[in-house]
Amino acid sequence: MIPDQLFGLSSNLALPGWLILAASPLAPKWANRIGGVALPIVLCILYAAAIMAYWASGDGGFDTLANVMALFDTPGVATAGWIHFLAFDLAVGGWIVRQAQASAVPHWMVLPCLFMTLMFGPVGLLMFLTIRFVRQQLTPTASSATSA
């Protein structure tokens, strides 16, 4: 299999994962099992295989910007790096959905966070953490409710 096909395959695995997470209120348990756990695991396995197969084909390293850019000059290593994004972003998306369910964040607030995580990973996570923090501050807790 050439890097192009692997790239296509991994995208075809990640996108359904995001759709499932977006539709998670319909079947929360299974949406999390498939979109939040199983598909990220499959992407992690694909990443492991890609890095085993392609790592030695790339020049460069992690120490300088020039070396990191050199790594991404090789199709195989660049594909592996892309799967890294897909796997971690989807895993974070699943974490966001679970956390939102646990702290009762409405799904319409989660959706933009998921979209931003899909597009710009850390920005989506930051959005969700901010929303959750603000809601926790604004929600009267049991102790403050009794003292008021």
Partner 1 sequence: MTHGSTYDLDALPSANHLRIPSFPRIAGELGSLVPFAAITFLFLAMTVPTLMAMALDSRSFQGDSIWLKPLKFQLSLAIFFGTVAWFGLYTSEAFRSSRAVHLFAYIACFAALAEIAWIGGAAMFGTASHFNTSSAFMAGIYSLMGAFAVTLTASALVVGIGVLRNDSSRLALAMKHAVGWSMIVTFVATVTTAGYMASQTGHLVGDEAQRTAHWLTGWSTQVGDLRVPHFFATHAMHIVPLFALGVAIFTAGRRGQMSAAWALLLGYSAFTAHTFSEAAAGRPFLCGLL
C-beta separation of 85 from 118 below 8 A: no
- Whole-number minimum distance, CB 36 to partner 1, in Å? 20
8 binds partner 1 (CB under 8 A): no
**Among candidate residues 44, 76, 43, 82, the one with its CA nearest the CA of residue 60:** 76
Rounded Cα–Cα distance for residues 115 and 88 (Å): 14
Least Cβ distance, residue 53 to partner 1 (angstroms): 4
Which of 27, 48, 69, 119 binds partner 1 (CB under 8 A)? It is 48
What phi and psi, each to the nearest 5 degrees, are found at residue 23? -95, 15
Instruction: Looking at the chain, list the stretches that DSSP marks H as alpha helix, in order from N- to C-terminal side.
Output: 3-22, 28-31, 39-54, 65-71, 75-102, 107-120, 122-138, 142-147
* Least gap, CB of 62 to partner 1 (angstroms): 16
Quick one: which segment of 11-19, 25-33, 40-48, 101-109 binds partner 1 (CB under 8 A)? Answer: 40-48
Shortest distance (Å) from residue 67 CB to partner 1: 17
| Residue 71 binding partner 1, by CB under 8 A | no
Query: Which residues are at the interface with partner 1 (CB under 8 A)?
Result: 1, 6, 45-46, 48-50, 52-56, 76
